Amino acid sequence: MFKVLKLPLAKRDIQESSLYYNKKLPSLGKSFVSEVRRSVKAHCILFPGQG
């Protein structure tokens, strides 16, 4: 199992982006965060040991 390092600035950027998208379309921010999580998991599977 991999542990993903969450940098404070990256976490804040994702949160701010989520708020921005929610202003454009309700629930779009939630979809954005879900896609970020899915992408990070996929990266860890495809490139183990990198991140």
Enter the pTM of the model.
Answer: 0.80
Tokens, residue 3: 């542990």
- DSSP class of residue 47? S
Q: At what angle do helices 28-46 and 8-24 cross, to 10 degrees?
A: 140
Backbone phi and psi for residue 29, each to the nearest 5 degrees, phi listed first: -60, -40
pLDDT, one tens digit per residue, over 6-48 is: 899 999 999 999 999 999 999 999 999 999 999 988 988 888 8
Q: Which residue has the higher pLDDT, 4 or 20?
A: 20
